[in-house]
Every structure is written in structure tokens, then in C-alpha cells.
Structure 1
């Protein structure tokens, strides 16, 4: 993972049983997770607006449900960063530096949208999974719980999207 943004300074006086060095490492990972989640939200919302073809209604509604869920998720991740005493990244430029999810080029066909969203959902899972060694070492159960819940949602969503691509 890349280094945390230079502007991210911890709040003083936090004593939650996780030392500042471990909190900084956790926040670094959560910042990547936040960027991936927000980028996937934006991509999903974009595809909701621009999907067309014989699966239009199904995909339009499915993408809407997915971006609404992602909108709630970004708040959960950002609030965990704040609870750990750091500012949450919140600009497009910060997210662009932190995300592992590429932006779409143009307006892809419906099947390519689905394939890109599968890749995005799986990327979020990988980002979350990478965090467990530091989270476990710091005994940060709230973050571990958040990561587990996010992984469950993204794995299920990837499966549902992937099912649309099967013959």
C-alpha cells in the first residue's frame, strides 16, 4: 500500500488501546478501502445512468441498489477512519491516488459494464483482505468487523454480477 497522505495527522489524546503507529497503518489501509469504495460507487452510478440494451431495466435497477449500498458504505469506512483519530480522504484527487479501480473509458456495452463491476467488487475485497494482518496484530476488532461485513457484501455482489455473464 502507498504511504498515507501527508496531510493526514492524528488527533491528539486518543487512548483506545491501539497505539498511534498501528492506528496510522490501519488508517492507511482504510483510506485505500475508502477510495476503492468511492470509485466503485461512482463507476456503478455512471453505469446506472448510461446502461442500455435488452437488460436495461434489470441492470438499471440492480446498479441503483448497488450504488445506494456503496454510498452508505463510504460513510462507514470514513467514520472508522475518524474514530481512529485521522482525517478521512475526501477528494477526487486523493481517491485517484489511493484507488486500485480504474475509471471506465467511454460508455462500455452492458456486458462490459457488468464485467468491470465484477472486477471492482473483487478489487474492494482484495483491498479489505490485505488489511487483516495489521488489524489482527493491533487487536482492532471494530475494524476487523467492518472489513468482514464489507467483504461479505462485495463477494456476494460480485457473484450476482458474475452470474449475469454466464451462458
Structure 2
């Protein structure tokens, strides 16, 4: 570990930025981005958990989907953090801070059937989607169109994931109809 003791930029601080976004406006957007960042890491870990534990007839397809989903979430988290830094902020980085600032509640440590797990994922995605919509409005209202556009692109990915999960949660089409 480094022995350097001089803090370069204090967590929670907002400074000037090269994109000339007013510091007060930037502070509001950085708070929103840090919330989205924290939520992204909670979702990332939950999707990863389900990826590890998926079982059943559709194991491979769901296993692959969940990996693609958590990898996209990780990329989005990186963009959120870099944008917060670019507009003068300090992105949350410690697990304690991320956990403390997340607005979504992770599933517990137990392993559930994949239908329950995906239902829990769908619920978390829905909460995050609602938050993104609010943060897009906030960024646009404060004149930060670049952040709004970035969030809009992430929102499309989140909505696509919910669409896929919703399909996985449909009634099993391979069941035999006992009434025939």
C-alpha cells in the first residue's frame, strides 16, 4: 500500500470542471451519478450471484444472458464514475460507501430457484430504471445534456435486460397440458 498521505481530492467534494458546468449544478448531478453507480454495483453482484447459481433446463441460456448483463452493468458503472469525475466530482469507490449509497436492496446470500432470482432481478431493474428516468430529467433540467444522453443510452440497455428477463419469466412452453 502506498505511503502517500496527501489527499489529491476529498471524497464528496466538487471542483471546477473542463466542461464548464456550474459547480452547484455539477454537485447535484454527481450525487445522482454516485447513486446510479452504487445501484449498478448492487445489481452487478446480484446478477453475478445468479449467474453462478443458475440451474435447470435453461441453465446455459440464462447463464450466458446473466454474464452479458452483469458485464454491461460493469461497463455502465465505469462510465458513470468517469462522468462524475469529468464534471468535477469524486465517484464512490469503496464497498462500504457504495453499499451505503445504494437505493436498491440486494437479495440475501441464500440461493433460490431461477424464477425467484430473476423476479428479484426484474424488481431491482425496475427500481433502477425509475431512478435513471429521474436523473435524466435532472441532468437535462440543469443543462447537462451529455450526462442525460449517457444515462439515456444506459436506460435502453436496462430496459432491454428487463424485456429479456420478462420473457424468461413467462409460463413454461415445454409443459404438457394435462387438460388435453
Matched, 1:155 2:168: no
Secondary structure of the 1:123 match is helix
The residue aligned with 2:116 is 112
Structure showing greater relative contact order (alpha-carbon pairs closer than 8 Å, 6 or more residues apart): 1
- Aligned counterpart, 1:10: 14
Regions of 4+ moved over 3 Å? none
**Paired residue secondary structure (1:86):** coil
Question: 1:43 Cα deviation (Å)?
Answer: 0.7
1:146 matched residue in structure 2: 150
- 8 Å Cα contact 1:9-1:87 kept in structure 2: yes
Question: Do structure 1's residue 21 and structure 2's residue 24 form an aligned pair?
Answer: yes
After TM superposition, give the deviation of residue 15 of structure 1 in Å: 5.1
- Counterparts of 1:70-81 in structure 2 under 5 Å? 70-81=73-84
In structure 1, C-alpha distance between the alignment counterparts of 2:103 and 2:88, rounded to whole Å: 24
Contact 1:125 1:150 in 2 (8 A): no
Gaps of 5+ in 2: 1-9, 172-180
The yes-or-no answer on 1:62 pairing with 2:65 is yes
Corresponding residue SS for 1:131: helix
Aligned position for 2:175: none
Contact 1:89 1:95 in 2 (8 A): yes
Q: For residue 3 of structure 1, what is the aligned residue in structure 2?
A: none
**CA apart distance, 1:24:** 0.2
Match of 1:47 among 47, 50, 57: 50
> How do residues 24-39 of structure 1 correspond to structure 2 at under 5 angstroms?
24-39=27-42
Deviation at 1:121, TM superposition (A): 1.6
Distance 1:14 1:60 in 2: 41
> For 1:78-108, what per-residue CA distance to the aligned partner results, in whole angstroms no more than 9, with x for missing partners?
0000001111001221111211221212111
1:158 & 1:166 partners in 2: Cα distance? 12
Bigger radius of gyration, 1 or 2? 2
CA contact (8 A) 2:115 2:169 kept: yes
Structure 1: 5+ residue runs without aligned partners? 1-5
CA–CA separation in structure 2 for the residues paired with 1:95 and 1:109: 27
Alignment length (residue pairs): 161
Q: Does the 8 Å CA contact 1:40/1:120 hold for their aligned counterparts?
A: yes
Output one character per residue of 1:87-141: Cα deviation in whole Å (capped at 9) or x when no partner: 1001221111211221212111100111111112222211111113321122111
Coordinate RMSD, CA, aligned? 1.5
